[in-house]
């Protein structure tokens, strides 16, 4: 894989999102594989953030590498780099995420931060070995897309009033359910921010903590250390909470 092929792969992606002239201005001349891959991965992540994508799917096929963005719950394929760049792209993402670049037989999870247009974005990474190579999914955690306010979540006026009444009650429980990508996290965090005032003590227990919220005490479970949802919740109850948010209900306990 020479520098010309690398440049062609980057140009192929960039033609779908802007002009080649802007690419040259932003990343300069490509001289070696390492620098090329760094720029290419940065470009893919930055464009996903600008497109308000929730996830980036990097999917190996026998004869190609497919990249798709999930936007508003739907996966859209974008022009992808050449198949020979696949190992280098996956390795770069692993380096960013502090994962073992030599381990391709087992799933791995990690995360990294990236700055896009002056915003610090958290990216959660998950790898999965498949028969065609390592599948990688990057979850884009952009706080500005989540803490929108309940009025911007698409509720009807009647539903919004009912939901606000429900979360304002001092007692009771609200279950938030739905498939992946349906907006559960956005709804939960927006509700918490509406309730987050100096006269309330709010505690969450999550796996993982996706967004850091001011004033709120957020607990990250750690099964290896013995901190599970069940025993964490028991401890939280001894900390005088006004509101508890449990990220997931995984079992009867």
| Unique residue bearing structure tokens 């028969």 | 131
Full-prediction pTM beyond 0.85? no
Residue 232, CA atoms < 13 Å, CB-side half-sphere: 23
Q: Which CATH architecture has domain 3-142?
A: 2-Layer Sandwich (3.30)
CATH fold match for the domains 3-142 and 150-246: no
Task: Convert the pLDDT of each residue in 115-173 to its tens digit.
Answer: 898 888 889 999 999 999 999 999 998 877 666 788 888 889 999 999 999 999 989 99
Instruction: Give bridge partners of residue 202 from the DSSP assignment.
Output: 243
Q: Does the domain made of 150-246 have the CATH classification 3.40.50.300?
A: yes
Question: What band does 183 get if pLDDT is binned at 50, 70 and 90?
Answer: confident
Parse the chain into domains and list their residue ranges: 3-142, 150-246
Residue 158, classified by CB atoms within 10 Å of its CB into exposed (0-12), middle (13-18) or buried (19+), is exposed
Residue 238: CB atoms within 10 Å: 7
Question: Is the confidence at residue 90, as pLDDT, over 70?
Answer: yes
């Amino acid at each position: 894989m020479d520098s010309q092929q690398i440049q062609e792969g980057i140009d192929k992606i960039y033609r779908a999102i802007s002009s080649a002239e802007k690419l040259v201005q932003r990343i300069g001349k490509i001289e070696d594989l390492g620098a090329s891959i760094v720029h290419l991965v940065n470009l893919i992540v930055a464009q996903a953030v600008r497109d308000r994508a929730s996830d980036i799917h990097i999917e190996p096929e026998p004869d190609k590498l497919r990249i798709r963005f999930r936007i508003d719950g739907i996966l859209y394929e974008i022009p992808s780099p050449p198949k020979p760049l696949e190992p280098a792209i996956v390795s770069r993402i692993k380096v960013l995420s502090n994962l073992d670049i030599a381990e391709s037989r087992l799933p791995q999870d990690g995360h990294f931060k990236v700055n896009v247009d002056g915003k610090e974005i958290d990216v959660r990474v998950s790898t999965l070995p498949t028969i065609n190579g390592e599948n990688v999914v990057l979850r884009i955690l952009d706080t500005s897309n989540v803490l929108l306010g309940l009025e911007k979540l698409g509720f009807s006026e009647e539903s919004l009033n009912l939901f606000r009444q429900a979360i304002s009650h001092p007692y009771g429980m609200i279950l938030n359910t739905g498939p992946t990508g349906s907006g559960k996290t956005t709804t939960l965090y927006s509700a918490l921010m509406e309730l987050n005032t100096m006269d309330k003590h709010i505690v969450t227990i999550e796996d993982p903590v996706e967004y850091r919220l001011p004033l709120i005490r957020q607990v990250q479970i750690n099964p290896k250390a013995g901190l599970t949802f069940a025993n964490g919740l028991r401890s939280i109850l001894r900390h005088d909470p006004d509101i508890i948010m449990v990220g997931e209900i995984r079992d009867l306990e």
